[in-house]
Amino acid sequence: MLRKRLNKDLLIFDGGFGSQLQELGMKAGEIPEYYNIEHPETIIDIHHRYLKAGADFITTNTFGANPLKLEQHKYSYQEVILAAIQNAKEAKKIKPDAYIALDIGPIGKLMEPMGTLTFDEVYQSVKQMVELVKEDIDVVLFETMTDIYELKASILAVKECSDLPIFATMTFETNGRSLSGCDPLTMVNVLEGLKVDALGINCSLGPNEMAPIIESILESTSFPVMIQPNAGLPLLEDGQTVYPMKADEFIDAIVPLVKKGIAIVGGCCGTTPEFIQKLKENCPATVTQREVSLLTRVSSGTTTVEFGKHVVVCGERLNPTGKKKLKVALKEERYDELVVEAIKQEQAGAHVLDVNVGLPGIDEPKVMKHVIKLLQEVIQLPLQIDSSNFHAIEEACRYYNGKPLINSVNGKDETMEAVFPVVKKYGGVVIGLALDENGIPPKAEQRFEIAKKIINKAKEYGIDKKDIIIDCLVLTASAQQKEVMETVKAVSMVKTLGVHTVLGVSNVSFGLPNRPLLNKTFLAMAMSAGLDLPIINPLDQELMNTIDAFNVLYNYDRDATNYIQKQAQSQVVLPKQTTSFSLNDVVLHGLKDEVKKATETALKSQDGLAIVNEILIPALDQIGKDYETGKIFLPQLIQSAEASKIAFDVIKQTFKTTKSSKGPVLIATVHGDIHDIGKNIVKVVLESYGYQVIDLGKDVPAKVVLEAYHKHHPKAIGLSALMTTTVVSMEETITLLKQEENMCPIFVGGAVLTEDIAQDIHADYYTKDAMAAVNLLNEIVH
């Protein structure tokens, strides 16, 4: 059985399918998946080549064969996938013990909030594919994934309709981030939580470029790790995209990585059967065993917080308990106030945000899901899903992007039986309250026993104690003064169980004067006893300073680096205590629901052109710098771009004419390429900077681009390609365009493009991403 061999026998995948199809006659612009039906003998031949070279797996030729990508195409996804499976079965006859892997790539559209594709649409698409052939395959392979949220929806689709093993690999850029901003540690944390059978990376990079990324993955997970690099970085020779690395160079680079503990190895673009044969000949037959420290981690889609490295601050201000304004906002569905409050806490230094929407008369599951999705649009921090409503917890966990913190369970059997299956399924970290049917015990020893019960019960559900945090419960000093020290004592005792601890700090001072003083003092006492996660108001600078000081004294903050950086400032500027933002703030944070109102307010005191030049453009420039330096990622970039577009539209209405926009600029994904994510991102960002963008769509023939040039007279033309096989189409399009006199500048981009390839196909400029396109056009378009 495949699962029994994982992390024991080194398993070998096949190599690059596209390069083999090219070698066997596939022309530029042809759709590889159609070969399953039109040229089955070619597909079977490629499978045979890799099997004979030593591959243990047959990867089906179905990378782009999803229902959404193949809608309105020549063949349905069902026809393509069934033909691919039949070809794999035929090929398997020469190696009956080979495993058939259903290959699933990205859907090809941006998910919310970056685009319009929903979580449920991804789920249904993958479910339909897997249900069609689940009896005929041995494993589902997700590869070249760029969005951890899409990958989560896809994994759940497989798990909820089958018991098939799941291998999941993402593709990362040289900066160590995926297109959507996910880093390797976040990928590991989310995929471990979802209990995939193997995880890793593929495509985009060669083995040398992948080395630091794969080493960090090996250090952070005990799960089987998979790697499928390209044969180096691409070049263009004689009109064809080629990968320069030879098989021996590939082996020299990858074998040392394999010996560090990789469990599954293969190749991606440019790797031929020769590469796979040399892998078989040079790699050890068994997996090098690794010792990995199991750490408690929670994640958003882009940010992972590890416990044990410093005190983790959980912001408490998204909980309506005791907050009249928040209660009213929730009842009146004014969720923008929650978003603003979340941003303030993030700015103040919180690491995690508690989210509670529990009020009488509210449909809590519906509201919790909605609020979680709203917060994920603008906040990079992990969220704590806080509810006593089991349905609300499950709904939030399902649509949460990352690995959530779940608050909570307690020592009651019925509560654990309701919540633990959700924690297990969606892979969260759960908070266990040290109370049971008899309430909160007065003594530390009794709370300690409940904590042990929770940990042991969780183990029965397959939940490791690293995914449990115990709340020893804070009682008010005004009513239960002697129990305060019992809480501190319980924290110290629970730490001996090997779990982390959490406390709602401000409860201690309820009903007493000068609450901040009591809170600060109790916080210091609790941290000394082992408190890891204080739930506090991060806008309380005294509390935050206390934590910074503790991190120094406890040797968390090495060389007092963080402390010095904060305290060296002559004056600490706190986030404004307000539920409204300026237009600049609204654009910076991508608050689309507030931007119209903020723009209209700004227009009361400023001229529209002044707002554009003095507020919008500087804000967008700041967003661009933050994106380029890795301070923010693609979701935040797009949110800000969309917000600024709304502001521009409002301002345009005040102008006498609308001819002030820049451009026009023509953009298209070239013929034969049905991937348009990158092109769509460029469109949104260019429009946010005031450019008129004419989008010709995807799979656009060269003559259509030329016709559009004559019709619209653009100031520049942008061409995009994701597939190596369509770089030729891009070159043909450029060649046709440049036959025209005084042709406008042509810029190109896409995953397979480099500066060298852009020059080889005679493009005028290469842009690596959307902001590079903006910077270029700001220079060349007048």
Residue 121: CB atoms within 10 Å: 17
Contact predicate 530/524, CB 8 Å: no
Question: What number of residues does the chain have?
Answer: 782
* C-alpha–C-alpha distance, residues 89 and 95, integer Å: 10
Could you give the 3-state DSSP secondary structure of residue 309?
A: coil
CA angle centred on 517, ends 513 and 523, rounded to 5°: 125
Residue 2: CB atoms within 10 Å: 17
- Is 283 assigned a ligand-binding role in the annotation? no
* C-alpha–C-alpha distance, residues 350 and 343, integer Å: 10
* C-alpha–C-alpha distance, residues 215 and 602, integer Å: 50
Single-letter amino acid, residue 30: E
* C-alpha–C-alpha distance, residues 19 and 241, integer Å: 9
Quote the tokens at residue 404. Answer: 């959530």
- End-to-end CA distance of the chain, in Å? 64
Beta bridge partner(s), residue 693: 665
* C-alpha–C-alpha distance, residues 645 and 664, integer Å: 16
* C-alpha–C-alpha distance, residues 717 and 713, integer Å: 10
Contact predicate 294/330, CB 8 Å: no
Largest CA distance in the chain: 88
* C-alpha–C-alpha distance, residues 13 and 55, integer Å: 5
* C-alpha–C-alpha distance, residues 294 and 312, integer Å: 18
CA angle centred on 440, ends 434 and 445, rounded to 5°: 60
Mode of pairing for the β-strands spanning 662-669 and 716-720: parallel
- Is 268 assigned a ligand-binding role in the annotation? yes
Contact predicate 217/190, CB 8 Å: no
Mode of pairing for the β-strands spanning 139-145 and 99-104: parallel
* C-alpha–C-alpha distance, residues 203 and 259, integer Å: 20
Cα-Cα-Cα-Cα dihedral sign, residues 575, 579, 584, 585: positive
Quote the tokens at residue 379. Answer: 């906040």
Within a 13 Å sphere around the CA of 169, how many CA atoms are in the beta-carbon half? 29
Quote the tokens at residue 742. Answer: 């005084």
Q: How far from 84 is each of 94, 132, 223, 305, CA to CA, in Å?
A: 17, 12, 29, 42
DSSP 3-state helix, strand, coil percentages of the chain (rounded to 5)? 50, 15, 40
Residue partners of 626: CB distance under 8 A and separation at least 6: 632, 636
* C-alpha–C-alpha distance, residues 671 and 723, integer Å: 11
Feature table: binding site: 203, 268-269
Feature table: binding site for Zn(2+): 203, 268-269
